[in-house]
């Protein structure tokens, strides 16, 4: 059981998405996260630990434990 638990924890990790905790598989890319959340990719921008990540690099940007992901779009304002 201990091994199974260890194996489980080694395959998933916690990250923060728009301020909410979320458990995802190790190796998930930023692009994969948007797919997982069924979010559009047009009219959308993302930041990782307060740094903007350009859309063309989303597929190769692999998320790490504890990272803070912000996924943004336009809303009414101004």
Partner 1 sequence: MQVEPLKLGSYIINNRLILGTGGAMSHETIAESIAASGTELVTVAIRRIKPTGSGQSLYDMLRELKVQILPNTAGCFTAKEAVVTAELAREALETNVIKLEVIADDRTLLPQPLELIDAAEELVSRGFFVLAYTNDDPIFGRNLQSVGVSAVMPLGAPIGTGLGIRNPHNISLMRELVTIPLVLDAGIGTASDAALAMELGCDAVLAATSITRADSPAVMARAISLAIEAGYLAHRAGRVPKRHLALASTPDEGRADL
Q: Which residues contact partner 1 (rule: CB under 8 A)?
A: 18-19, 37-40, 42-47, 50, 52, 54-55, 70-78
Only one residue has tokens 């489980």, namely: 8
Relative to beta strand 12-17, strand 20-25 is antiparallel
Residue 65 · residue 14 · CB < 8 Å: yes
Of 31 and 44, the one with the shorter C-beta distance to partner 1 is 44
CB of 29 to partner 1, least distance (A): 17
Of 3 and 56, the one with the shorter C-beta distance to partner 1 is 56
């Amino acid at each position: 059981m201990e091994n199974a638990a260890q194996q489980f924890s080694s395959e998933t990790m916690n990250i923060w998405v728009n301020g909410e905790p979320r458990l995802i598989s190790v190796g998930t890319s930023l692009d994969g996260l948007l797919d997982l959340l069924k979010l559009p990719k047009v009219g959308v921008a993302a930041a990782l630990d307060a740094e903007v990540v350009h859309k063309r690099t989303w597929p190769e940007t692999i998320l790490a434990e504890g990272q803070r992901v912000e996924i943004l779009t336009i809303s009414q304002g101004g």
